[in-house]
Amino acid sequence: MNTIIFDIKPIAKITGREFEALCQANPELKLEQTTTGEIVIMAPTGGETGIYNAGLIAKFWIWNDQMKLGQVFDSSTCFALPNGSKRSPDVSWISQERWLALTPDQRIKFPPIAPDFVLELMSPTDNRIDLQAKMEEYIAAGVRLGWLIDRKNKSTQIYRPSGINQIVESPDFLLGEDVLPSFKLDMRSFWV
C-alpha cells in the first residue's frame, strides 16, 4: 500500500471575486478567506462533531420556525463580512429585517453581511487559538453574540460586542439573550 502525502503550498492572496470563482470551481472543498486575502481550507469534521452540528442546526431551525424572527444558516453558507473576509460559521442566524434588506442577488451569492449570531463547535481538527481569533473577527465585523463550544474541555466561550466575553464551564443551558429572544439551548447532552 502506497502512502500519498500532499504538500499544499499557501495559495497567493486573491480578490473576493477570484475567491468566489475558486469556490464555484471547487464545490467539494470548504474554503474561507481571511481579511488579508489568504485562503483557508477547512478540514471536514468527524462523525461525532457532525452529529452535534446536525443537532445544533435542528434546534436553531425549530426555534426560528416557531418565532419567525429571521433566518438560520448551516456551515456551508459563506458570508462576505464587512472586513473583507469570507467566513462560514457552523451555525449562524440573521434577523429577518436585516436579511430582507439585502437584494435578491446578494442573498443568492455570499451574503455581504455579518450574522447577528454565530456558533462554532470545536472539532478535533480545530486549533483553539485560530477559532478564538475567528470569534473575535466575527464580533469586530458586527456579530452581536457568538458561542464557541468546546466539548472536549466542557466549556463555552461567549462573545459579545461589549468586549465582556466569558468562559462558562459545563453550562446546563445557553441563552440567546436579546439577540435570539427566548432561545434556550440545553447543553447537558454535550458533556457526556
Q: For the beta carbon of residue 145, count every other beta carbon within 10 angstroms.
A: 24
- The pLDDT tens digits for 129-183 are 989 999 999 999 999 999 999 999 999 999 999 988 999 999 999 999 999 999 9
Instruction: Label residue 11 by pLDDT band (50, 70, 90).
Output: low
Give CA separation, 91 vs 5, 21, 33, 151, in Å: 32, 24, 18, 16
Calpha distance 181→49 (Å, rounded) = 26
* pTM across the whole model: 0.89
Domains of the chain: 45-191 (3.90.1570.10)
pLDDT digit string (tens) for 77-125? Answer: 999 999 999 999 999 999 999 999 999 999 999 999 999 999 999 998 8
pLDDT value of residue 46: 82
The C-alpha cell of 91 is what? 451555525
pLDDT at 8 over 50: no
Residue 6 has pLDDT above 70, yes or no: no
Residue 31 pLDDT more than 50?
A: yes
Q: Position of cell 466575553?
A: 165
